[in-house]
């Protein structure tokens, strides 16, 4: 995956810079999301692999995506096909989404709790996390019965383990030191 990310980064960055310049970040995000799903589809990948030239691959890919791609999106597909990089499209879409979230000053936060959080609890948590991260927070709540009490919060590389199990583990570590 890291190799694909390395290959995808220049394409995602170029597409993002063009999208910001033209004010079409949201439409580019939608285009790349769709194109990434087409590229990761097994049937589409098999059909594309069976074509001998990059031009034929690009034409088929554009035909599959139809009106989902604008002219610039079609040009990106052609360039990636010429360089044999269509397989990296899902990674391009993922990186573009990361650039967009950073540009929009948004962050996705996963919250794991033993029981569902009430709307009031979610609102309080969002306010506290927005203050901590200085970004708009999009909360993704899930339940896990192995979390005895408290919450586990994951935001990017940051993990805040406020669960009872996590607190007991930290207490045991400090007592052993």
Residue among 19, 59, 64 nearest 39 (CA): 64
- 167: CATH: 3.40.30
Does 92 lie in the same domain as 112? no
pLDDT tens column, 94-145: 999 989 988 888 888 999 998 899 999 999 999 999 999 888 898 999 999 8
pLDDT tens column, 71-101: 999 999 999 999 989 889 999 999 999 899 8
Q: How confident is the model at residue 46 (pLDDT cuts 50, 70, 90)?
A: confident
Does 65 lie in the same domain as 122? no
For strands 106-113 and 151-155, give the pairing. antiparallel
What's the number of domains the chain is made of? 2
Tell which of 52, 82, 102 closes a domain.
102
The first and second tokens of residue 165, run together, are: 């199990």
Does 97 lie in the same domain as 38? yes
For strands 158-161 and 151-155, give the pairing. antiparallel
Tell which of 74, 102, 130 closes a domain.
102
Does 90 lie in the same domain as 111? no
Contact 140, 109 (CB under 8 A): yes
Does 122 lie in the same domain as 88? no
pLDDT score at 2: 65
Q: Determine the structural domain holding residue 144 and report its residue range.
A: 105-176
Does 80 lie in the same domain as 16? yes
Q: Is the pTM higher than 0.85?
A: no
């Amino acid at each position: 995956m890291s190799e694909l990310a390395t290959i995808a980064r220049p394409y995602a960055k170029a597409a993002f810079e063009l999208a910001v310049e033209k004010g079409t970040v949201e439409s580019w995000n939608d285009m790349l999301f769709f194109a990434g799903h087409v590229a990761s589809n097994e049937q589409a990948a098999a059909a594309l692999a069976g074509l001998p030239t990059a031009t034929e691959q690009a034409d088929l890919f554009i035909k599959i995506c139809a009106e989902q791609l604008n002219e610039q999106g079609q040009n990106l597909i052609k360039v990636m096909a010429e360089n044999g990089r269509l397989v990296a499209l899902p990674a391009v879409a993922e990186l573009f989404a990361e650039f967009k979230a950073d540009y929009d000053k948004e962050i996705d936060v996963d919250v794991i709790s033993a029981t569902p959080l009430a709307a009031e609890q979610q609102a309080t948590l969002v306010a506290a996390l927005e203050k901590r991260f200085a970004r708009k927070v999009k909360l993704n709540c899930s339940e896990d019965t192995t979390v005895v009490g408290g919450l586990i919060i994951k935001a990017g590389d940051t993990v805040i383990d406020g669960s009872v199990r996590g607190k007991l583990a930290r207490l045991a570590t400090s007592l052993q030191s």
